[in-house]
Amino acid sequence: MTESLLTVRDFSVVYDVDPPVEAVKNVTLDIRRGEIVGLAGESGSGKTTLAYGVQRLLKPPAVITSGSVVFHDESGEDIDLHTLDVEQMRRFRWNKISMVFQGAMNALNPVATIGSQLDDVFQVHRPGMSRAERRAAVVELLEIVKVGGQRRRSYPHELSGGMRQRVMIAMALALRPQLMVMDEPTTALDVLVQREILKQISQLRHEFGFSVVFITHDLPLLLEISDRIAIMREGEIVELSDAEQIWTDPQHEYTRDLLRSFPRLTGERGVVVR
């Protein structure tokens, strides 16, 4: 059995409004070392809340009401994320778990060059690096994600949407984390650029050995790249299985509904009832 990297047990989140909203309900999930886990479900199913909650990024009125999150570090240490103080958690993020946020390609500072923004990551988290070492690391990252080291002097508006998204992936990779959480990373990109970025994510995963949690409502996309897929509905994981089984033998009616909701390119034409 593949070694676990992150263990989530009975995890719940409530939005403390009137009336309270149970956004995540008793979720249990294991992320294995080196795998891609897809997290699928309709908007409002709790996917992003779960991802933010695990990393303690939620803000009021969101409240974690139960559960545990344990990170099994490659050093052999088991780290309970709920016991870390604010400074320890700040150091943990990006070093151990990084995140590509939804709409991240539009989150770059428009008045700072790509290189300076990547350089900031090393200044904050690797203060012992010299200026020359940081510059070399920035160039290497941009080459890894196929943006090109010469682009370090470019501003975000000089890059396409796909290239900006690659820069955000480079930023998430900068400190060589063991787990990368990606929240709708290909939204607003055209289909060809989506496929290029998905291919690159898979290649980088194989090269560097990190795990990926890939969040999207696009189940067919997850079927292409995921090792396992978790289906969320109304804050709960209703099905968790290998991607192949999700496609060939889905067990939950909601999973079957999701699969039926996407048009097929082959087969008989359906009849539209008006």
3-state secondary structure the chain: CCCEEEEEEEEEEEECCCCCEEEEEEEEEEEECCCEEEEECCCCCCHHHHHHHHCCCCCCCEEEEEEEEEEECCCCCEEEHHHCCHHHHHHHECCCEEEECCCHHHCCCCCCCHHHHHHHHHHHHCCCCCHHHHHHHHHHHHHHCCCCHHHHHCCHHHCCHHHHHHHHHHHHHCCCCCEEEEECCCCCCCHHHHHHHHHHHHHHHHHHCCEEEEEECCHHHHHHHCCEEEEEECCEEEEEEEHHHHHHCCCCHHHHHHHHCCCCCCCCCCCCCC
Does 24 fall in a domain?
no
Banded model confidence at residue 186, pLDDT cuts 50, 70, 90: confident
In the chain, pLDDT over 90 holds for what percent of residues? 79
pLDDT for residue 255: 94
pLDDT for residue 185: 85
Q: Is a pLDDT exceeding 80 seen at residue 264?
A: no
Does 164 fall in a domain?
yes
Banded model confidence at residue 266, pLDDT cuts 50, 70, 90: low
Does 119 fall in a domain?
yes
Banded model confidence at residue 267, pLDDT cuts 50, 70, 90: low
For residue 155, the enclosing domain spans 108-176
Does 128 fall in a domain?
yes
Does 113 fall in a domain?
yes
Banded model confidence at residue 102, pLDDT cuts 50, 70, 90: confident
- Which residue has better confidence, 114 or 194? 114
Does 7 fall in a domain?
no
- Which residue has better confidence, 228 or 220? 228
Does 241 fall in a domain?
no
| pLDDT tens readout for residues 147-168 | 999 999 999 999 998 899 899 9
pLDDT for residue 84: 96
Does 81 fall in a domain?
no
Q: Domain count of the chain? A: 1
Q: Is a pLDDT exceeding 60 seen at residue 265?
A: no
pLDDT for residue 189: 80
pTM of the model: 0.90
Q: Is a pLDDT exceeding 70 seen at residue 195?
A: yes
Banded model confidence at residue 1, pLDDT cuts 50, 70, 90: very low
Banded model confidence at residue 274, pLDDT cuts 50, 70, 90: very low
Q: What is the mean pLDDT of residues 205-233?
A: 93
